[in-house]
A and B are shown apart, each in its own frame.
Chain A
Amino acid sequence: MITAELQKGWAKSLLEAAGSAPAPWLEELRSSAGALIDGLPLVNRKQEAWRYTNVEPLLKESFQPVVERPSGYPGEVPEAITPHRLVFVDGWFMPELSDTALLPEEVTCGSLNDAIAAGDERVKNRLGSVADPGEHLFTALNTALVNDGLFLHLPAGVKLESPVELFWLNSGGETPLLAQPRNLVILEPGAEAVLVEHHLPGEGERYLHNGLTEIVLDPGAKLDHYRVQDESEQAWHFSRIVLDQGSDSRYHGITLAFGGHLARTEYNGLFTAEGAHCTLRGLYTVGDDQLQDFHLDVRHDVPHCSSREQFKGLLYGKGRAVFDGRILVAKDAQKSDAELTNDNLLLTRNAEVDTKPQLEIYADDVKASHGTTVGQLEANQVFYLRARGIDEQKAVHMLCEGFAAEIIEHIHLETLREQALARLRQTLGNL
């Protein structure tokens, strides 16, 4: 059972190891978030948002926050698909492993900590303005321990030709480490970028990644954001992505979640002006000893915005998944257009998904729909392939790939699409 004592005690031990902040204003931000923790609800089954996701074993584990930039990285850094490569180890930006030389001069792309230490006003003005630290224990913890992460800023009208690619790696060691990246992405009016994130074990096996990303899209800005979560099978992974979308901005996000022991991805989208569009897509696979959790919360507060949410899950063994997708259309948000689907393919009897699409609509002139399916492979589809000479195992793989393809095909980077397919095949090969 998660008691107040357990939750507070766990957080307290982490906060004690926080280390010093690179600027006084950050110290304030940190301590105000830290002060929230004692008053936050317990992350237990009584809360709808945590009803199917048991974090008790996590709260009984002790982690060591990484409060300084690691001196190096013992492992190999995977190959990048673009010239703009940023490597983070235990949540810290590693300049010597990264390459941002080919980015246009007017673009800021690198360490959040460095930007704060250098007195960057843009960070001071926006950090913490998009994401509510009091959302739950893990967002408060992230804010109370802000150290490093990505700071990406594109001035008005700048359009990056190549994607910016991030590698999140872990250094491992005896004590399980806590990586706490905090990311801030600001695209000024009309700016365009593609961001690719790879969450990988690196040298780590047992660790906690607790990331929080704030994204500000000014009017007309466009961001394609691909995330591949392929953490170690013993790892805990939390990611929360919070969007602040100005008029006519466009966000296109895809998360592919393959790894982790317990992984939770949260999207929180807010439209602040008319004409904005947000697409969220996701593919998750879960097997034995795995839980993938997706929580979406998209708010249409103003008229004439559209959102699409499409998530698909492939479950096998004793794998478990949770999907909670909420779209809220406020009273004045007329002409909103929202569509949410979640489809799950259960390959075994013991796999389980708890899925809950929610549309809350207070306006009267909107287009909104949602649909959820939980099913198994259809015997007649398998038979059809076998009758064409394809053996049963291959037939199952092809059908699973076909199911997943409806997400993967939306990746507009060919190399990444191929990587995703290869990764999916690796999972299917273990069925």
Chain B
Amino acid sequence: MLTIKNLHVNVDGKEILRGLDLEIGTGEVHAIMGPNGSGKSTLSYVLAGRDGYEVTEGEVIFAGKNLLEMEPEERAWAGIFLAMQYPVELPGVNNMSFLRESVNAVRRARGEEELDAIAFMKLVRERAELVKLPEKLLKRSVNAGFSGGEKKRNEILQMALLEPKLTILDEIDSGLDIDALRTVAEGVNALRSPERSFLMITHYQRLLDYIEPDHIHVLAHGRIVRSGGKELALELEEKGYGWILEEEAAA
């Protein structure tokens, strides 16, 4: 589904990603872990198409297409969804209207019929319940004044509505207490299917207790330095990142 080859990315003239390779198959759940500053968030923003990230080398193929040539909205239409670490507040923009606009924009682009107000209301209520987002938050401005947990739930609600092929979860666990983390994880798990892939980006092993990945990668100095199964997470939990970085330096 997603193939990243030798990806080099500069931010403000500084090289952050230095030859990153990654292959995510359909239906797979991958986790990328790594110390702060290793380039985790840069990777998620480059995939979503945010400005300010200069790709100097390499390629990203998503569902057979060159992802790097696509605008952010085209990526969303194609089925990429980035659940952000810091969801943006949009004062004055009604959450319900925003969600409907988003769902219908994606449906239009996919050649599907738009949902009318009633059909959408039904859908959004059902999905909001899944992520335990209080209905009153649908009537407020997008993320404005939401708690950290509410913002993350709103992200997962959007994911549940857009039903993306590839979801990137950028530190979805940051700032969440255990209850909120459990709810968010349940929302993600409910969407797991043989057709959907996930890329979790996290600093902590904790998230992986709730969303079990098929593959784990360690990102350091802008490259994947180690890949493995679930056992790699336990090793990281026990020994931290130091030993991998040392091995890397030695090699």
CB pair A391 B90 closer than 8 Å: no
| Contacts A380-B88, A384-B84, A387-B48 given; does A398 touch B98 at CB 8 Å | yes
| Contacts A386-B73, A387-B76, A398-B98 given; does A381 touch B105 at CB 8 Å | no
Query: Which A residue's beta carbon lies closest to that of B143?
Result: A384
B158 at interface by CB-CB < 8 Å: yes
Cα separation A390 to B75 with both chains bound (whole Å): 11
A78 at interface by CB-CB < 8 Å: no
CB pair B162 A399 closer than 8 Å: no
Would you list which residues of chain B between 137 and 192 have a CB under 8 Å from chain A?
141, 158, 162
Interface residues on B, range: 20 to 34
- B79-103 Cβ-contact flags toward A at 8 Å (1 or 0): 0011010011011111000100110
Cα separation A406 to B102 with both chains bound (whole Å): 22
B50 at interface by CB-CB < 8 Å: yes
Query: Which B residue's beta carbon lies closest to that of A408?
Result: B92
* Residues of the B chain whose Cβ atoms lie less than 8 Å from the Cβ of A380: 88
Cα separation A318 to B232 with both chains bound (whole Å): 59
Cα separation A400 to B158 with both chains bound (whole Å): 22
CB pair B90 A402 closer than 8 Å: yes
Cα separation A188 to B158 with both chains bound (whole Å): 53
B77 at interface by CB-CB < 8 Å: yes
B112 at interface by CB-CB < 8 Å: no
Q: Which of A381, A388, A403 contacts B102 (CB 8 A)?
A: A388
CB pair B91 A406 closer than 8 Å: yes
CB pair B101 A381 closer than 8 Å: no
CB pair B72 A401 closer than 8 Å: no
Cα separation A386 to B70 with both chains bound (whole Å): 12
* Residues of the B chain whose Cβ atoms lie less than 8 Å from the Cβ of A362: none
CB pair B88 A391 closer than 8 Å: no
A379 at interface by CB-CB < 8 Å: yes
| Contacts A380-B88, A398-B93 given; does A389 touch B51 at CB 8 Å | no
* Residues of the B chain whose Cβ atoms lie less than 8 Å from the Cβ of A386: 49, 71-73, 76
* Residues of the A chain whose Cβ atoms lie less than 8 Å from the Cβ of B93: 398-399, 401-402, 405
Cα separation A391 to B73 with both chains bound (whole Å): 6
B109 at interface by CB-CB < 8 Å: yes
Cα separation A383 to B50 with both chains bound (whole Å): 7
Cα separation A398 to B141 with both chains bound (whole Å): 12
Cα separation A92 to B46 with both chains bound (whole Å): 63
Cα separation A409 to B93 with both chains bound (whole Å): 12
A346 at interface by CB-CB < 8 Å: no
Cα separation A401 to B92 with both chains bound (whole Å): 7
- B97-141 Cβ-contact flags toward A at 8 Å (1 or 0): 010011001100100000000000000000000000000000001
A410 at interface by CB-CB < 8 Å: no
CB pair A387 B82 closer than 8 Å: yes
Cα separation A387 to B71 with both chains bound (whole Å): 9
CB pair B73 A392 closer than 8 Å: yes
Query: Which A residue's beta carbon lies closest to that of B82?
Result: A387
CB pair A391 B105 closer than 8 Å: yes
| Contacts A383-B51, A402-B141 given; does A390 touch B92 at CB 8 Å | no
Query: Which B residue's beta carbon lies closest to that of A403?
Result: B92
A404 at interface by CB-CB < 8 Å: yes
- A94-106 Cβ-contact flags toward B at 8 Å (1 or 0): 0000000000000
Cα separation A390 to B82 with both chains bound (whole Å): 14
* Residues of the A chain whose Cβ atoms lie less than 8 Å from the Cβ of B73: 386-387, 389-392
Question: Residues on A close to B: CB < 8 A?
Answer: 378-381, 383-392, 394, 398-399, 401-406
26 interchain pairs (CB within 8 A)? A378-B88, A379-B51, A383-B51, A383-B72, A385-B90, A386-B73, A387-B72, A387-B73, A387-B75, A388-B105, A388-B162, A389-B73, A389-B102, A389-B106, A389-B162, A390-B73, A390-B102, A391-B73, A392-B71, A394-B101, A402-B91, A402-B92, A403-B91, A405-B93, A405-B94, A406-B92
Question: Residues on B close to A: CB < 8 A?
Answer: 48-51, 71-73, 75-77, 81-82, 84, 87-88, 90-94, 98, 101-102, 105-106, 109, 141, 158, 162
* Known contacts A381-B90, A387-B49, then 15 further A-B pairs from the complex at CB < 8 Å, ordered by chain A residue: A381-B88, A384-B88, A386-B49, A386-B71, A387-B84, A388-B102, A388-B162, A390-B73, A390-B105, A391-B105, A394-B101, A398-B98, A402-B93, A403-B91, A403-B92
6 tightest A-B CB contacts, nearest first? A402-B92, A389-B76, A402-B93, A386-B72, A405-B92, A388-B102
